Amino acid sequence: MSLAKIPEINIEIPLPKAPKALSKDQQSSYIEKIKGLLIEHNAVLIAHYYTDPEIQALAEETGGFVGDSLEMAKFGASHSAETLIIAGVKFMGETAKILGPDKKVLMPTLEATCSLDLGCPIEPFNEFCNQHPDRTVVVYANTSAAVKARADWVVTSSIAVDVIEHLQGQGAKIIWGPDKHLGNYIQKKTGADMLLWQGACIVHDEFKFQGLEKAKVLYPDAAILVHPESPQKVVALADVVGSTSQLIKASKELPHKQMIVATDKGIFYKMQQAAPDKELIIAPTAGEGATCRSCAHCPWMKMNALEILSEVFEKDDNEIFVDSELSKQALKPLKRMVDFVK
């Protein structure tokens, strides 16, 4: 088992093994089985943009949904299905349960997690916050329910800058966690007084300035689309910096025929739908200083494989539960986020 190390945090994170590859016949067999199970159990499949294309396609074909973590949770809370199948990572299942407490929330596996979540344990983060009681605590959605419960605000990357500007206008000083790259990006955009937790996403942290420069030489007419969880030098090369949904929109609206994309390559499924005439090129993760721990695809998102998904109703260890008091506390900053984007 390989290990990824969160930058500047003494936490080693074991990476999961990739699921075994399936033949076309095996894929078709599992897809038909899952379709039948969703009907039988009055369930709906909700998938993140970063899951594999066949999972996203299956969600769409069965009346489910593909989106970011907040969009996923809002869709699930308002859907009539009794059971939500969350194809993503654990914090997404927790958010869906908090916003839809009456729903049964299942995941293909609860071992699918996130380096940002794991790199921000509640105990040290709580201690960090307690050292600065005069600051407003703002956390990224990629965090555990416990960390959300400690926060004043939860944000997604699509509204992070706007929320910080809103709080800045009220004279607030900020504690930001956990992604340092997104925090740096927000701080540079707003000039806000922010203390940053030093976490990073292992996917976005892999994109390299040198590799992206070389890619731009190879594709001089291409637009560069970058997620703000990427390192600052990579962000500086971008034509567009934005959340998953913002990058998908940009791929459609920009006049360029080629796009170099610095985010998880799972986004290509929806991006190609939005811009079928565009050539999509994944930003390099190889080269000088690179480790290719994820190779532009989250190893935990990849755990949402068809075979594992087909067994989602047979397990007894894959249902999301959130302590009622914790859920009540975490709902407050989540509701602020939901109300902010209305």
Check residue 8 and give its pLDDT.
Answer: 52
**pLDDT tens-place string over residues 270-326:** 999 999 999 999 998 865 544 555 589 999 999 999 999 999 999 999 999 999 999
Across the range 161-175, mean pLDDT stands at 97
Check residue 4 and give its pLDDT.
Answer: 40
pLDDT band at 12 (very low <50, low <70, confident <90, very high): low
How large a percentage of the chain has pLDDT more than 90?
A: 87
Check residue 20 and give its pLDDT.
Answer: 87
Distance CA 42, CA 81 (A): 5
Is 102 in a helix, a strand, or coil? coil
**pLDDT tens-place string over residues 105-123:** 999 999 999 999 999 999 9
Retrieve residue 27's tokens: 């894929």
Between 278 and 16, the more confident residue is 278
pLDDT over 90 at 24, yes or no: yes
Check residue 294 and give its pLDDT.
Answer: 58
Is 226 in a helix, a strand, or coil? strand
Distance CA 302, CA 38 (A): 21
pLDDT over 90 at 2, yes or no: no
pLDDT band at 17 (very low <50, low <70, confident <90, very high): confident
E-strand ranges in the chain read 3-5, 12-14, 43-48, 65-67, 83-87, 104-106, 136-140, 153-155, 174-177, 194-196, 223-226, 240-241, 258-262, 279-282
Is 234 in a helix, a strand, or coil? helix
**pLDDT tens-place string over residues 196-210:** 999 999 999 999 898
148-157 core/surface letters (b: 16 or more CB in 10 A; e: else): bbbbbbbbbb
Is 261 in a helix, a strand, or coil? strand
Distance CA 72, CA 94 (A): 11
Worst-scoring range by mean pLDDT, 26-30, 67-71, 245-249, 329-333?
67-71
Torsion angles phi and psi, residue 196, rounded to 5: -110, 130
Q: What residues have CB less than 8 Å from 310, skipping those under 6 apart?
A: 30, 33, 34, 37
Check residue 295 and give its pLDDT.
Answer: 81
Across the range 47-57, mean pLDDT stands at 97
Distance CA 101, CA 120 (A): 24
